[in-house]
Amino acid sequence: MIYKKGINEFRKIFILLIMIMLFVALKAQEKYTLSGTIKDAETGEDLIGATVSVVENLGTGAVTNVYGFYSLTLPKGEYTLRYSFIGYNKVNKKLLLNEDKKIDLELTPSGQTLQMLVVLAEKENDNITKNEMSTIKIDPKDIESIPVLFGEKDIIKVVQLTPGVKSAGEGNSGFFVRGGAADQNLILLDEAPVYNASHLLGFFSVFNSDVIKDLTLYKGGIPTKYGGRASSVMDIKLNDGNSKKLSASGGIGLISSRFTLEAPIVKNKGSFVISGRRTYADLFLKLAKNKELRNNSLYFYDLTAKANYKIGEKDRIFLSGYLGRDKFVFGKTFSFDWGNKTGTLRWNHIYNQKLFSNTSLIFSDYSYKIKITEGSQKLVLSSLIRDFNLKQDFTYYKNDRSTLEFGGNIIYHKFLPGSLSGEELNTLKINNKYALESALYLQHYYDVSSRFSLNYGLRYSNFNYLGPSTKQVFSSKGNLISETKFSKWKSIQQYHGLEPRANVKYQLGENNSIKASYNRNYQYIHLLSNSTSSQPNDIWVPSSNNIKPIIADQVAMGYFQNFAKNIYNTSIEVYYKNLQNQLDYKDGANLFLNNTVENQLVFGKGYAYGAEFMVKKVLGDFTGWIGYTYSRTFRKIPEINKGYPYPAKQDRIHDVSIVGMYKLSQRMKLAATWVLYTGSAVTFPSGKYNVNGQNIALYTERNGYRMPNYHRLDLGLTWDRKNIKEQINPETGEKERVSRKIQSSWNFSVYNAYARQNAYSISFRQSNTNPNITEAVQTTLFRIIPSIAYNFKF
């Protein structure tokens, strides 16, 4: 019944969608369309977010999409078009628009990128004029000098330095956005979701910054084309590969090395890029004298590859893939390996100058395997989550003021929460779970006037928890009452919902604007983890008859102001977020290899609010920003803390980050970052007692204590080797400056420069000297970590 109702709902929305399209088509007037692509003249990479503006009518224009495609519809006439992108030379073009025209253009890099901080890669006053808020954009080219742990450049660590985004812990690549949990972030790598985005127990993200073209994080105002997570979307796009010539780049660092190769397949028609990275701490272990130590290893590697090919004027195919694996081996008895695999096959098709289409087939897989060998006994423990996703997106460029995005997708999820097998053991298997998640969406970007713009949309999502599996029903006390077997494709439980979203912008003047947004997001799959940072053996589970989907509503408002000819950008954003069906764990919950894991969970509400302040200097020898966030995050769950609200573990009241970059000379760049934040909320004992012959702690309130405040200074220095040499041009006989074939740079950095002993954890133990005394012990992970890296490109 419920299933049928869902289908009907689906149908209704689909009809609505078609009607809107028709409406749009009917209204189209006698105008002409200019379309095309914008690329980098040196590498042939598509430029995302490059603008085409009409000089005669400022405020009118188009922006390229993620494939570098733009479309602009204007009344018949003569125009001057300005093609621009930050860090590239502008191109002006005169054009008589008396028929539909196609202009493909290549922009040359201006070579002045060093003077501009493009960490938030935008046009001078895009932050004011764009109807987009709560969004962070990062271009990996511009973060190279920002110091990071072990000198291992990591784009996610830079995102963590912006307001509203918090690191999951010391050196950790997991992050929290506006009070949401770490599993409420949708992390996409070329459209494929990455289920466990960290290597080496969280210290490095799985993304190799060398091949990332663009990163956008939506903290709010999330476009309707994204869905499935409650708090944020991090959309990462890979480079397409140099379509002009063969080129290679790489780096040698303290703990890992990277190498990237890119080349055209057919010049200007297709290209590929392949990049690999591996850590080598374990190779040093091989040199150890201790034999036992030599048998241990701990390393990770990842491989990223992408290829694209232009079939004709209107069609283009992309294939991208990622493979990353961590491996930890302890002697002959224990081995643990885990990692992600993703793959995306995309087909771009331009139906006509106004209708752009992309079809994607996406695969994603995360798995882990633990092997334990003890004598003749051998145990293998494994778990995985796997997705197949078919996605269709359309963009309809109605006119210079109106753009429509619509489409849908369907994902087949497979969950293997865990199985344990051994030679002398019955195989222990937690029931597999399956689900179908689908969505339809529509979004309208509309510039009402030159000052006022609106974008709004609706997403309909549907989730079907499917057999073959077993439906478990629990009593209010959590005892298993009944188990019902469901056969393949039979619906066990279905959920669906409408997710309205809207953004408005009103530009007050040339240099300031106000913006507001609302969005509702549904999240149907959940990560079970009883640790603060992401662990390889965390498991994903679908919503079921016992677990309801998370529903998040967020309202946000912002004021944006630029000063001194857009050299200084400032912003204030405030938000309030309401979360339904938040999941937490019963006291002493057992999540590991538990067939009735759903009765270990408790559900309740959550809410979060905060204010984010940002002052940024984007031009000059000195660039950087100061960000400050005040935020609170609470949970209210009847079974926890006697039903009173308690701060979530990611509740950090104050958070300051300062990033400064200074250009000492043409070849020398200095960078420093400083962070300060309130310690995380933790649970400490308020007493102790003796039971079962043990002294045990008595806990009275959840997360009632705070870790000490955290602060840290990192320093970095990037020194470019002389990349330009002078030579005499044999034809003209004049001296000229040319780029060296091999460009290289050294990067020195110091993590935690003043050796602050920040608390990674505080635990309690019996004193070694007097067993009657319990003492609190603080563990500090990294005191002062210097590192050095060498990067090259040719």
Which residues of the chain form contacts with other proteins (CB under 8 A)? Answer: 200-201, 281, 285, 296, 298, 328, 330, 336, 420, 425-426, 428, 479, 530-532, 535, 537, 585-590, 595, 682-694, 696-700, 702, 704-705, 757, 759-764, 770, 772-783, 785
Nearer to other proteins, 248 or 298 (CB): 298
How many C-alpha atoms does 236 have within 13 Å on its Cβ side? 29
* Bridge partners, 425 (sequence order): 422
Minimal distance, residue 700 CB to other proteins, in Å: 5
Minimal distance, residue 706 CB to other proteins, in Å: 10
Nearer to other proteins, 29 or 690 (CB): 690
Nearer to other proteins, 96 or 777 (CB): 777
Quote the strand ranges of 331-424, DSSP E.
Answer: 334-352, 355-374, 377-399, 402-422
Minimal distance, residue 570 CB to other proteins, in Å: 38
Nearer to other proteins, 207 or 646 (CB): 646
Nearer to other proteins, 140 or 169 (CB): 169
Report the alpha-carbon distance of residue 188 to residue 195 in Å, rounded: 9
Minimal distance, residue 712 CB to other proteins, in Å: 14
Minimal distance, residue 633 CB to other proteins, in Å: 16
Report the alpha-carbon distance of residue 688 to residue 773 in Å, rounded: 12
What residue has token string 């994903």? 540
What strands, in cross-sheet order, belong to the sheet with 51-54?
A: 61-63, 51-54, 77-84, 91-97
Q: What SS3 class is residue 283?
A: helix
Minimal distance, residue 737 CB to other proteins, in Å: 44
Nearer to other proteins, 143 or 370 (CB): 370
Nearer to other proteins, 111 or 708 (CB): 708
Nearer to other proteins, 487 or 692 (CB): 692
Cβ(157)–Cβ(174) below 8 Å:
no
- With vertex at residue 106, the alpha carbon angle to CA 103 and CA 110, rounded to the nearest 5 degrees, is 140
* Bridge partners, 686 (sequence order): none
Nearer to other proteins, 568 or 705 (CB): 705
Minimal distance, residue 545 CB to other proteins, in Å: 21
How buried is 728 (Cβ within 10 angstroms: 0-12 exposed, 13-18 middle, 19+ buried)? exposed
Minimal distance, residue 776 CB to other proteins, in Å: 4
User: Which residues neighbour 57 within 8 Å (Cβ) at sequence distance 6 or greater?
Assistant: 79
Q: What SS3 class is residue 121?
A: coil
The conformation of residue 12, written as its DSSP 8-state character, comes to H
Cβ(136)–Cβ(159) below 8 Å:
yes
Minimal distance, residue 746 CB to other proteins, in Å: 23
The conformation of residue 2, written as its DSSP 8-state character, comes to H
Cβ(661)–Cβ(626) below 8 Å:
no
Which string of DSSP letters, residue by residue, matches 605-672? EEEEEEEEEEEEE-BSSEEEEEEEEEEEEEEE-TTSGGG--EE-TT--SEEEEEEEEEEEETTEEEEE
Nearer to other proteins, 89 or 532 (CB): 532
Report the alpha-carbon distance of residue 172 to residue 782 in Å, rounded: 12
Nearer to other proteins, 505 or 702 (CB): 702
Cβ(7)–Cβ(76) below 8 Å:
no
Quote the tokens at residue 776.
Answer: 């609190």
Minimal distance, residue 286 CB to other proteins, in Å: 13
Minimal distance, residue 485 CB to other proteins, in Å: 16
Nearer to other proteins, 244 or 635 (CB): 635
User: Which residues neighbour 194 within 8 Å (Cβ) at sequence distance 6 or greater?
Assistant: 187, 188, 206, 322, 340, 342, 364, 366
Minimal distance, residue 605 CB to other proteins, in Å: 18
